[in-house]
Amino acid sequence: MIRAFLVWLQTALGKGAGDTAQSWSEALLGSLNFWGLLEGSHLIGLMLFAGTILIVDLRLLGVTFRRTPVSVVSDTILPLTIFGFIFVVITGMGLFFAKPLFYYHNIWFRVKMIMLAIALINILVFHSRIQRTQGSWDSDALPPAGARTAAALSLSAWLVVITFGRLIAYDWFECGKPQPAFINWAEECKVSEKGAVALSGAHP
């Protein structure tokens, strides 16, 4: 069902009449300059977002700005973090729109989305539970274990998100190429246009 929607999104949405007509997705991917501008903007927004997250997490770990209350650091950084996140989401959706089927069958993208969900859940837990007691440790050089754990998980999750996002550009694992059965399963290669190809001597 999801894949059928993505096929429509990539090949049919906005497509006019005629053999040379392109869908909006195909037109975006084939654009001379806009695709590169979109990709570059996404990376710049990611640096802003990840950089502000890094500053807050390092403060929660007691590594930097130890004499500055956590609330001062987070309140100062938060507007930039929110702006960076919104910018990354908008540009990321644009990138996905240009190649939805490619991303859908990409193992790196799938793991990235899982880690992104974990990172967002961690943020939700921190703000809804751990931060409730911030008044009692706001000025402490070393916040309590719960806050430090959340910060460590945040750093780890966002590092994985960025790393796997970067790996999407490489075709080490791609449907249609001989690869382990687990990768073919994880990428749902059987239903892709390129199909699932097993390694020599293995079953797809």
Mean pLDDT within 117-123:
94
Statement: residue 141 has pLDDT above 80:
yes
Q: Please write the tens of the pLDDT for every residue from 68-77.
A: 999 999 999 9
**Percent of the chain having pLDDT more than 70?**
98
Q: How confident is the model at residue 30 (pLDDT cuts 50, 70, 90)?
A: confident
The CA distance from 99 to 103, in Å, is 6
pTM value? 0.86
> Would you state the pLDDT for residue 65?
93
The CA distance from 75 to 46, in Å, is 20
> Would you state the pLDDT for residue 201?
52
